[in-house]
Amino acid sequence: MKMEKAILAAVTTEDDRVHGSAAVFKCDTKEEMEAVAANLEAILDGIAHALSDQLYIIVKH
């Protein structure tokens, strides 16, 4: 199956921001969040989009 336009993961520094079925990675600092998002981007073949300073999502296009 070819997956198109799906949120693969969310990376956030705010505990209560994200809920749901996608994998959520909670980080302590912005730097940690960026590092986790960069790794996930490479691993999942997705693009890290910034929705706000506290929330990144990894999206498969």
Partner 1 sequence: MNEYTYPIILGILVGTVLRVFMLRTDYRQYPTYLHGKIIHLSLGFIAAALGTIAIPSIMEKEFTAVTFLTLAASQFREVRNMERNTLTEMDSYELVPRGNTYIEGIAVAFESRNYLVIFTSFVVTLCYLALNIWVALAAAVVCFFLSGMLMSGSKLSDIVTVEEKPISFDGAGLYVDNIYIMNIGLPERQEEIMKYGMGFVLTPKEFSVRSTIANLGQRQAILHDVSVTLGVFRDSGTPALVPLIKRDLNDGRIGVFILPQEKDSKRAKEIIEHVPVLENAIQMPSRKGRRNHS
Nearer to partner 1, 18 or 46 (CB): 46
Residue 46 interacts with partner 1 (CB under 8 A): yes or no: yes
- Please identify which residue in 7, 23, 49, 54 interacts with partner 1, judged by CB under 8 A: 49
Residue 6 interacts with partner 1 (CB under 8 A): yes or no: no
3-state secondary structure the chain: CCCCCEEEEEEECCCCCCCCCCEEEECCCHHHHHHHHHHHHHHHCCEEEEEECCEEEEEEC
Residue 56 interacts with partner 1 (CB under 8 A): yes or no: yes
Residue 18 interacts with partner 1 (CB under 8 A): yes or no: no
Residue 22 interacts with partner 1 (CB under 8 A): yes or no: no
